[in-house]
């Protein structure tokens, strides 16, 4: 059968899958799955990208040993992280992760050293302020004055670097580049002002190119596979696979991170959007993903890691038995970014504020669930206010679609109809992006309709919560 290889990399795992048509529906078949864990290099939290690359090659080899006729491959991953190369194409420094602590305080330094206000930066980039944005990572690097800094020739984002290692072509894909806070969001070009502000050099940056184009080929055992630069930011691919057909439907990419927002033809960088810290990330066809970045299921994953015998269904079951909305946190607090113990970090969050803290494991879990649902509602309210849109439906995609307790809680708190599926949104978006590049389908809308007809959509109808407005007010007071 004819297919394409979808390489979908997340912060905790990676998959090599094949996407193909079967009786008018898109199907996925997984060939290889592997862990993607951060490793400590000295005091820095890093990615083991060479291990990831080896695992990708193992997966491709498994696919080529099958009966599939492969037409291309594409890679999507998380955003903001990058690799610096010298003129010979060799990496400089470590593959430091966005969860590393080196960026603490860099945002303030950028503003002070360049007489730039946060409003100035937001007006240019349209990107929300997060401690780990590429602009802050580069500021941290340039302030260190490493002895290799003068040898930097090019910057490649993670999927661009992996594509380079496969096909030898240095390329910059737009959707991943858009997460950096270094692009002019309206012109979709690198901003010299923002690049200079973080101490980087404009010559390091390759002009960003729109996704869904063949850039080179990977050769293995006499077989040449075209390498497709897809919408390489995993959220961009996930949104591409989300069946959105009207302006009143929002999306929620529910995974390690929760990305909740809408599609827009234009970036929105007005004062309301700035005050809400909304982000305008790049999407397929030059569209924008106006969204809010929320810490997401990372909190659940980290708590679960402290109790490895429990399954995710065990955890949601424990939460469902607890008294709701007793304990609430701001899930986006930086203390939850990468603590040694998430349980301890959550309890300390309350203690620092002289608030009663959850004592039992199930209370901690319930606190996370309730706080996430309230964060979703707050984000949707902000987006509706900024855009003057009436949002009456939410499409949840990604691994979080399997958490029925959270999805129902989201419907109840947001008082909105919630539709779930597809679960493998990033991988499917990767696939349809390749199909578009190969002229196997005509456009994004056609791909979305095929994905919707290929999915088992589930509806969660909102149920009444007593005292909901008071609960929301309590949550907002914690921000």
The answer to whether residue 219 is domain-embedded is yes
- Quote the CA–CA distance of 445 and 242 in Å, as a whole number: 10
* Residue (of 254, 324, 325, 235) closest to 295 by Cα position: 254
Parent domain of 414: 242-421+441-479
The kind and range of the H/E element at 41 are strand 38-41
Q: Are 184 and 257 part of one and the same domain?
A: no
| Catalytic residue from among 100, 234, 370, 377 | 234
Q: Are 120 and 246 part of one and the same domain?
A: no
- Quote the CA–CA distance of 467 and 99 in Å, as a whole number: 37
Q: What percent of the chain has pLDDT over 70?
A: 100
Q: What is the pLDDT of residues 394-429, one digit of tens each?
A: 999 999 999 999 999 999 999 999 999 999 999 999
Per-residue pLDDT at 11: 86
Query: Collapsing DSSP states into helix, strand and coil, what is residue 316?
Result: helix
Q: Are 397 and 275 part of one and the same domain?
A: yes
The answer to whether residue 46 is domain-embedded is yes
State the greatest distance between any 2 C-alpha atoms of the chain, in Å, as a whole number: 66
* Residue (of 363, 362, 361) closest to 327 by Cα position: 363
> Which among 229, 263, 293 is the end of a domain?
229
- Quote the CA–CA distance of 335 and 357 in Å, as a whole number: 16
The answer to whether residue 234 is domain-embedded is no
> Which residues in 9-24 are b (16+ Cβ under 10 Å) and which e?
bbbeebbbbbbbbeee
Q: Are 264 and 379 part of one and the same domain?
A: yes
CB 170 within 8 A of CB 206: yes
**CATH number reported for the structural domain that contains residue 265 in this entry:** 3.30.420.40
Across 311-315, average pLDDT: 96
Dihedral sign for Cα atoms in the order 144, 49, 190, 268:
negative
The answer to whether residue 463 is domain-embedded is yes
Look up tokens 């030898």; give the residue: 168
Per-residue pLDDT at 132: 95
The answer to whether residue 407 is domain-embedded is yes
Per-residue pLDDT at 444: 96
Q: Are 327 and 468 part of one and the same domain?
A: yes
Beta-carbon count within 10 A of 78 CB: 23
CA 86-90-92 angle, to 5 degrees, is 65
Q: Are 38 and 136 part of one and the same domain?
A: yes
Distances (CA, A) of 144 to 109, 180, 209: 13, 20, 31
Q: Are 54 and 148 part of one and the same domain?
A: yes
Q: Are 215 and 257 part of one and the same domain?
A: no
> Which among 190, 207, 229 is the end of a domain?
229
Q: Is 293 exposed, middle or buried (0-12, 13-18, 19+ CB in 10 A)?
A: buried
Across 267-275, average pLDDT: 96
> Which among 183, 198, 229 is the end of a domain?
229
Instruction: Give me the number of domains the chain comprises.
Output: 2
Helices (H), 224-330: 234-240, 271-276, 298-305, 312-320
Which pairing describes strands 288-294 and 393-397: parallel, antiparallel, or unpaired?
unpaired
Look up tokens 């929760």; give the residue: 258
Say which DSSP state 229 is in: E
Q: What is the pLDDT of residues 238-259, one digit of tens each?
A: 999 999 999 999 999 999 999 9
Catalytic residue at 234?
A: yes
Q: Are 280 and 182 part of one and the same domain?
A: no
Q: Are 183 and 288 part of one and the same domain?
A: no
The answer to whether residue 139 is domain-embedded is yes
Q: Are 221 and 248 part of one and the same domain?
A: no
CB 68 within 8 A of CB 20: yes
In this prediction, residue 12 has a pLDDT band, given cuts at 50, 70 and 90, of confident
The answer to whether residue 432 is domain-embedded is no
Q: What is the pLDDT of residues 127-168, one digit of tens each?
A: 999 999 999 999 999 999 999 999 999 999 999 999 999 999
Mean residue pLDDT of the chain comes to 96
Distances (CA, A) of 422 to 5, 28, 120, 450: 18, 11, 38, 11
Q: Are 271 and 191 part of one and the same domain?
A: no
The answer to whether residue 22 is domain-embedded is yes
Statement: residue 273 has pLDDT above 80: yes
In this prediction, residue 460 has a pLDDT band, given cuts at 50, 70 and 90, of very high
Statement: residue 479 has pLDDT above 80: no
Per-residue pLDDT at 1: 84
Per-residue pLDDT at 170: 98
pTM beyond 0.75? yes
């Amino acid at each position: 059968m004819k297919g394409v290889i979808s390489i979908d990399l997340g912060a905790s795992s990676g998959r090599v899958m094949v996407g193909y048509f079967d009786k008018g529906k898109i199907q996925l078949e997984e060939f290889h799955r592997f862990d993607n864990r951060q490793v400590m290099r000295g005091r820095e939290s890093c990615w083991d990208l060479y291990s990831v690359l080896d695992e990708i090659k193992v997966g491709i080899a498994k696919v080529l040993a099958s009966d599939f006729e492969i037409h291309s491959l594409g890679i999507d991953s998380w955003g903001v992280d990058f690799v610096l190369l010298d003129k010979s194409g060799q990496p400089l420094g470590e593959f430091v992760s966005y969860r590393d602590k080196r960026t603490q305080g860099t945002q303030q330094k950028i503003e002070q050293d360049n007489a730039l206000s946060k409003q100035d930066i937001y007006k240019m980039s349209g990107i929300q302020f997060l401690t780990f944005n590429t602009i802050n990572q580069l500021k941290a690097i340039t302030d260190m004055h490493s002895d290799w800094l003068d040898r930097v020739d090019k910057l490649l984002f993670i999927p661009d670097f992996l594509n380079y290692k496969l096909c030898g072509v240095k390329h910059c894909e737009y959707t991943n580049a858009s997460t950096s806070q270094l692009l002019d969001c309206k012109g979709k070009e690198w901003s010299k002002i923002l690049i200079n502000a973080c101490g980087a050099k404009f010559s390091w940056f390759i002009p960003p190119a729109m996704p869904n184009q063949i850039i080179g080929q990977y050769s293995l055992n006499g077989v040449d596979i075209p390498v497709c630069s897809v919408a390489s930011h995993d959220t961009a691919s996930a949104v591409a696979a989300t069946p959105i057909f009207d302006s009143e439907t929002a999306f929620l990419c529910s995974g390690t991170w929760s990305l909740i927002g809408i599609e827009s033809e234009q970036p929105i960088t007005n004062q309301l959007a700035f005050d809400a810290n909304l982000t305008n990330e790049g999407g397929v066809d030059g569209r924008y993903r106006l969204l809010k970045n929320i810490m997401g299921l990372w909190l659940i994953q980290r708590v679960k890691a402290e109790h490895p015998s429990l399954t995710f269904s065990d955890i949601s079951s424990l939460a469902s038995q607890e008294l709701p909305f007793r304990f609430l946190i701001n899930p986006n607090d930086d203390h939850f970014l990468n603590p040694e113990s998430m349980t301890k970090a959550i309890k300390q969050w309350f203690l620092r504020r002289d608030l009663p803290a959850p004592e039992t494991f199930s209370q901690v879990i319930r606190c996370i669930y309730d706080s996430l649902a309230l964060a979703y509602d707050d984000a949707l309210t902000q987006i509706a206010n900024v855009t003057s849109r009436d949002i009456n439906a939410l499409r949840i995609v990604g691994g979080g679609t399997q958490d029925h307790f959270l999805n129902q809680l989201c419907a109840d708190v947001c008082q909105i109809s919630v539709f779930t599926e597809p679960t493998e949104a990033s991988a499917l978006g990767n696939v349809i992006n390749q199909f578009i590049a190969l002229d196997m389908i005509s456009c994004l809308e056609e791909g979305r309709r095929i994905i919707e007809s290929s999915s088992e959509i589930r509806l969660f109808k909102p149920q009444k919560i007593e005292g909901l407005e008071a609960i929301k007010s309590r949550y907002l007071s914690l921000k």
